Amino acid sequence: MSTFDVRTLGCQMNKHDSERIAGMLLARGMTPVPTGEVADVVVFNTCCVRENADERLYGQVSSLSGIRRERGTVIAVGGCIGQRDGETLLRTLPQIDVVFGTHNLAHLPALLDAAAGSPGPVVEVDDPSEGDFTSELPSEREHPWHAWVPIAVGCNNFCTYCIVPYVRGRERSRTLEDIVSEVRRLAADGVVEVTLLGQNVNSYGRDLYGTPRFAELLRAVAAAGVERVRFTTSHPKDLSDETIRAMAETPQVCRHLHLPVQSGSDRILKAMNRHYTQESYLALVERLYVSMPDLALTTDVIVGFPGETDADFEETMNTVKAARYDAAFTFIYSPRAGTPAASMTDQVPRELTQPRFDRLVTEIQALALAKNVPLIGTVQRVLLEGPSKRDPRVLTGRTGGNKVVHVPLPAGVAPDQLAGMLVDIRIDDAQTWFCMGTLNSEA
């Protein structure tokens, strides 16, 4: 077993876990597979929050069947789908050699060894609510200048559509000192930007300290030597004024907040178990804009939750317009087995949800453009990420508001030379999902 390929089918938490999987496999002498080749070990790190992760997993594992037979490629599946399905995954995908749960990540190398000496598949899925937070594994970062930093895992909220509390367990926070010392090490290692990760970062520390300490953590991480701090995800019910103050007063904290609204109807929010109303959510949004007029606000919206009527959907549209989002992840509701919403009887048919969804997407696009156009003529601090995927003569980066900015590659500069650098960019043009600009020194 000498080459590996880690395929991430999921969210940011999965991406971070994938970096840790890569770090562990590198530490045992394996190497990443060259592009275009099939690895000796393929690890799928999955998420079951979004339905297409299931479909992509089934498609990709099935397509490896032939090569597995010919070359003995080992297939491992972990993350939320591994945790949720455990051994039953082998009934639909008997090609899998190793199944591991969200809490068994650190054992993956040992499980691969066990699979090599075993006539059948190896499965290890522990109770996700037990044991330690595995924060000290080696990690192979995708970009040297960016690091994901988990601050808590699990969730106590039990939104009725969500599988996370069942597969990731109850919320467990890392100590503040542990997080800050990791960020100090990362800064010393050249990391410019960290993203703090948790299912609900705003309740960070409640399990350890009896009260949330996220605002304090933000200030401490910002003082630990990195130039940018991002975080995700925030639950509106737990976003405190203290945290808004910490964001507003700490220049390293990016002016971007992802604040999932899910619905604008109080009736549906109650059925979702979200613990806020349209009024309290929009009051929070106004407090945010008053404190940070340049804040970029993004959200998640679910269309067609069980029982959603046309009137409920109009409340969602009203909320979206009032919140003036910069972008949104939009979803048509689909049931997740094992969640309360999956057994609700009033599921909404596709012929009703699709037109609502289309209207919502059109509205979000209009709002996104309306938020980008005023940036024309301004100078934005942009963290350059490298050449654009479509055109190597163009560099791509992100503003503090997480907006994608494309810049022509300056003459005499290699495409990767400026990756990881914070530069000033004058914005010359704005589209719905990106801006075009010029390096300010050239402007």
Q: How far is the CB of 326 from ligand SF4 (least distance, A)?
A: 20
Cβ nearer to ligand SF4, comparing 78 with 165: 165
What distance in Å separates the CA atoms of residue 116 and residue 100, rounded to the nearest whole number?
A: 15
Letters for 114-143 (x = contact with ligand SF4 by CB under 6 A, - = none) are ------------------------------
Cβ nearer to ligand SF4, comparing 84 with 235: 235
Cβ nearer to ligand SF4, comparing 155 with 222: 155
The candidate with the shortest Cα–Cα distance to 431, out of 375, 387, 360, is: 375
Q: How far is the CB of 209 from ligand SF4 (least distance, A)?
A: 20
| Total interface residues for ligand SF4 by CB under 6 A | 10
Out of 77, 105, 164, 194, the only residue in the binding site for ligand SF4 (CB under 6 A) is 164
DSSP label at residue 167: H
Cβ nearer to ligand SF4, comparing 145 with 161: 161
DSSP label at residue 347: P
Answer for the pair 95, 60: CB distance below 8 angstroms, yes or no: no
Answer for the pair 253, 247: CB distance below 8 angstroms, yes or no: yes
Strand order in the sheet with 296-303: 256-258, 296-303, 327-332
Q: How far is the CB of 234 from ligand SF4 (least distance, A)?
A: 10
Q: How far is the CB of 53 from ligand SF4 (least distance, A)?
A: 15
Cβ nearer to ligand SF4, comparing 155 with 194: 155
Q: How far is the CB of 182 from ligand SF4 (least distance, A)?
A: 23
Beta-bridged to residue 9, according to DSSP, are 46
Tell which positions 144-163 bind ligand SF4, by CB under 6 A. 155, 157-159, 162
Q: How far is the CB of 212 from ligand SF4 (least distance, A)?
A: 14
Two tokens, residue 102: 């969200």
Q: How far is the CB of 43 from ligand SF4 (least distance, A)?
A: 24
Residue 183, classified by CB atoms within 10 Å of its CB into exposed (0-12), middle (13-18) or buried (19+), is buried
Cβ nearer to ligand SF4, comparing 135 with 157: 157
Locate all alpha helices (DSSP H) within 7-93, ordered by sequence: 12-27, 51-63, 65-71, 79-85, 89-92
What distance in Å separates the CA atoms of residue 422 and residue 330, rounded to the nearest whole number?
A: 31
What distance in Å separates the CA atoms of residue 312 and residue 318, rounded to the nearest whole number?
A: 10
Cβ nearer to ligand SF4, comparing 162 with 254: 162
Q: How far is the CB of 413 from ligand SF4 (least distance, A)?
A: 42
Cβ nearer to ligand SF4, comparing 164 with 226: 164
Out of 101, 165, 236, 397, the only residue in the binding site for ligand SF4 (CB under 6 A) is 165
Q: How far is the CB of 108 from ligand SF4 (least distance, A)?
A: 24
Tell which positions 15-54 bind ligand SF4, by CB under 6 A. none
What distance in Å separates the CA atoms of residue 105 and residue 371, rounded to the nearest whole number?
A: 41
Q: What is the CA 227 to chain-centroid distance, rounded?
A: 20
Q: Between β-strands 394-399 and 404-408, what pairing exists: parallel, antiparallel or unpaired?
A: antiparallel
The candidate with the shortest Cα–Cα distance to 121, out of 74, 84, 69, is: 74
Cβ nearer to ligand SF4, comparing 19 with 238: 238
Q: How far is the CB of 331 from ligand SF4 (least distance, A)?
A: 12
Tell which positions 228-287 bind ligand SF4, by CB under 6 A. 235
Tell which positions 370-429 bind ligand SF4, by CB under 6 A. none
What distance in Å separates the CA atoms of residue 15 and residue 8, rounded to the nearest whole number?
A: 6
What distance in Å separates the CA atoms of residue 79 and residue 100, rounded to the nearest whole number?
A: 7
Strand order in the sheet with 122-124: 31-32, 3-9, 41-46, 74-78, 98-100, 122-124
Cβ nearer to ligand SF4, comparing 150 with 397: 150
What does each C-alpha distance from 177 to 100, 206, 265 come to in angstroms? 30, 15, 40
Tell which positions 173-232 bind ligand SF4, by CB under 6 A. 199-200
Binding site for ligand SF4 (CB under 6 A): 155, 157-159, 162, 164-165, 199-200, 235
